[in-house]
Structure 1
Amino acid sequence: MEKLYDYLPRELVTFLLVTVFSLLIGLSQRKISLKREGETTLFGTDRTFTFIGILGYLLYILDPADYRLFMGGGAVLGLLLGLNYYVKQSQYHVFGVTTIIIALITYCIAPIVATQPSWFYVMVIVTVLLFTELKHTFTELAQRMKNDEMTTLAKFLAISGIILPMLPDKNLIPGINLTPYSIWLATVVVSGISYLSYLLKRYVFRESGILVSGIVGGLYSSTATISVLARKSRKASAQDAPEYVAAMLLAVSMMFLRFLILIGIFSWDTLLAVYPYLLIMSLVTATVACYLHSKRKRTDDGTQAEEEEEGSNPLEFKVALIFAILFVVFTILTHYTLVYAGTGGLNLLSFVSGFSDITPFILNLLQGTGSVAVPVITACTMQAIVSNIAVNMCYALFFAGGKSPLRPWILRGFGCVIAANISLLLFFYFL
């Protein structure tokens, strides 16, 4: 908008912007106030907010040096707003100071538009309009929150903003690239992705179906998501079996994307080497999942599988502690494997890591273990993922039960994905 000053007088542009912004705020506030309070206790109209903005602009330009007129006008406006609030509170028992705060913000629009860049004052207006309109949304959100939700958020802020910067970045064991900072940094990054997926599942996709549960859960932990879906499938009908397996495979598909994000955070060179393979496998897995989903549609009898809300919060201290311990264990194992068994031993370790959480193993490689080449890290990452998918298939078979209708679908779906992964791994070796 600064380019308008090249064609029109600055005072004219500023006046028009202040008037339009004040009117927009007045319109949104009038609608909300009428719904909440009614015409009797309404503080002015949309024109009132427009005049407040214009008044602020006039008093601002009349005394641009000391701002005494602007501050005096603000004091008078504050007094009038205080009297209005007193009358509403004493006679009509209407509480709340949102209108007062918005009126004062409207009064301050003029100096903001005159002194700040366009992106800043537009951001202020957008924020005011959004928060005015989202009142009921925030109320519903607060009602859905668990009692310990703010405590959980405080924990995440503490581990990322307080503990992490305070940790030293010096090796704990001579010769091994293992520092308190690197351990906790990996924990914070993984916990952040897990926490984000938890918030999406609980507050954004709360009424979602089985497929969305698999997609969002895969951002947190494909193993945990597959185990939960397999347990829930015991109550599902045979017609819903392909749907549950499709959701499990979508969780695996999102696992590939999650590792792409983690690899990009810690090692750009490795990302450039591994991203084609992970993207291809994510698409292949999603394609198999869509095929199974289409099978469910053909045999659908009109019933919908009910999904129970999973109330567990991934951001727990014991989860972070287990991850940190695994990270330390795999760092030490990787170091001594390279020393005594070389690259061949590291390849074997990558397959073994699939029986546990492979994230600590992969992040340990990405943060540097001495002299591990990028192609070796790429191969070990793909091998660990293949091994972990096979283990997840076993988890799905176990938790679904011996007589579950999911068993043939699990073997077909996961078998196709594992076969495609192995084929791609062989292509990588022979390329």
Structure 2
Amino acid sequence: MTGSVLPSVAATLPIESILLLLGLSFFLGLAVEEMVSPSIERPGGIRTIPLLSLLGLTLTVIVPGNTVFVLAGFFSLALWLSLHHVSKNSPDPDSKGYSLIHPVIALMAYLLGPVTILLPHWFSISFVVFIVLTLGGRDRLHDLAKSVPQEEIFTAGKFLILAGIIWPLVPDHLVVAWLPLTPYKIWEYVIVVSSLSYASYLIQRFFSAKGGLLAGSVFGGLVSSTAATVMLSRKAKELLPDQKASVSAELHGAIVLANTLMYLRILLVVVFLYPAMARPLLLPLLGACVIGSAMALYLVYRKKVSKDGAVAPENFPSHPLELTTALVFALSLVIVTVVLGWVGRHFGTSGIDLMAFLVGFTDIIPFVLGLVHQSTPDQAGMVAGAIMISASSNNLAKAAYEISILGLRRSIPSVIPLLVLAILGFVYAYLVV
């Protein structure tokens, strides 16, 4: 018997699967009836879709273990829907419109029968929910598609090529003895960090407008807290001479919040790449994130921000998926990893702590990755202390950036929380080392 890949289910057809199929198919048919404009001709509704699902179920179990009937039914339905589609798309301007989405829904309704019987119930439920959400989100999805610039689509395509095609081809063995990272591992770091930054960038650009400045600062901080600090400080410099005190509080709160998200970004990177090393970092990083967020919200809400005085959200960092940015990150990772290994061998923990303080005035993610990669679980205390030192010195650097842009007096409300976070980080490192 040809095509015998389906399991035999006719003899033990579970009643709960049949009831689930009936419920899901009626739900899908109702969604099609409610969400599709009556001006559009459709081959299916609350009656047809359940019948198509039952047809798929029947052809699945009528001859157990044979896919011929299922495939024959699928292609026959596809042929009929194609002819129906062609006949309804006549050049007559008075004829009803006809969308290709409806034949696709009919085919998916047919497949719902085999899916419900042969696959876990969570899959069949997700299958229907996805269809319904796609139907209901038609206008929003079209608006989103129109709002995405063409260069963003090209950038996403390039990223998929780099991550899905080139990355698997990179060799996964040590190339030189003095570099404890394989090219594959380096590229993995670049992909993970870039993915996190890119996701935050997209959310900040397309979805944070309604959330205002604070929402933008959250995602801007996940992309680059340093870039967010500089841009917010410049915006504050433009607005401070003639703005209300409440607006000043919102800007200072946004600066603190953007810097606070640096701790969450570090934790996410470690969780994705070295989950075993993430546990000892939970307390210091999440603790700093909570304390910083509390100080940021205090700055904002101690003086209620008026609707007229609210500051518009800012597009903080530049695009995080530029090839130059990725190459610079990879080069920084290689240099920091090599230097870190040399410092650890010759100067031990004190040398690593000093290096952690110095690299805090630059991008600390390469240092974090290089440190975690070359450490063992029994060195968790040293790793956590060094990471907190680098994060603290990074806060000092960003406080200096803010002072250089705004001046000392105007930057005090947000500089003080940054100094508090830095001091807490140094104290934690002193206690655990």
TM-score range, shorter chain: 0.7 to 0.9
Q: Does structure 1 conserve the Cα–Cα contact (< 8 Å) formed by 2:228 and 2:317?
A: no
Deviations 1:248-306 (A, max 9, x none): 21122211122122223444554333322222211211121121112332x75842112
Q: Which amino acid aligns with 2:387?
A: T
Give the TM-score taking structure 1 as reference length: 0.86
What CA distance in whole angstroms lies between the structure 1 residues aligned with 2:66 and 2:335?
65
What is the TM-score with the length of structure 2 in the denominator? Answer: 0.86
The correspondence of residues 21-420 of structure 1 with structure 2, limited to 5 A, is 21-34=24-37, 37-38=39-40, 41-64=41-64, 66=66, 73-74=73-74, 77-90=77-90, 91=92, 92=95, 94-236=97-239, 237-239=243-245, 240-268=247-275, 270-297=277-304, 300=306, 302-310=308-316, 312-368=318-374, 373-399=379-405, 401-402=406-407, 406-420=410-424
Give SS of 1:344's match. helix
| Offset of residue 227 of structure 1 | 1.2
Report SS of the residue matched to 1:305. Answer: coil
The DSSP-based 3-state class of the residue aligned with 2:97 is: coil
Deviations 1:216-253 (A, max 9, x none): 12222111111121122223324212211211211222
**Aligned mates of 1:70, 1:369 — CA distance in 2:** 55
Identity, in percent, stands at 27
Gaps of 5+ in 2: 1-11
Q: Is the 8 A contact 1:334 1:369 kept in 2?
A: no
Gaps of 5+ in 1: 1-8
Q: Which moved further from structure 2: 307-316 or 102-111?
A: 307-316
- Matched residue count: 415
Indicate if the aligned counterparts of 1:156 and 1:315 stay in contact, CA closer than 8 A: yes
Say if 2:375 and 2:383, in contact at 8 Å, map to a contact too.
no
CA-CA distance at 1:147 after TM superposition: 0.7
Query: CA contact under 8 A between 1:241 and 1:409: conserved in structure 2?
Result: no
User: Equivalent residue of 2:47, what SS?
Assistant: helix
CA distance in 1, matches of 2:384, 2:227: 25
Equivalent-residue separation in structure 2 for 1:121 and 1:58 (angstroms)? 17
Kept in 1: contact 2:227–2:316 (CA 8 A): no
**Structure 2 Cα separation of the partners of residues 156 and 56 of structure 1:** 39
* Cα distance in 2 between the residues matched to 1:214 and 1:112: 44
The answer on whether the counterparts of 2:209 and 2:313 sit within 8 Å (CA) in structure 1 is no
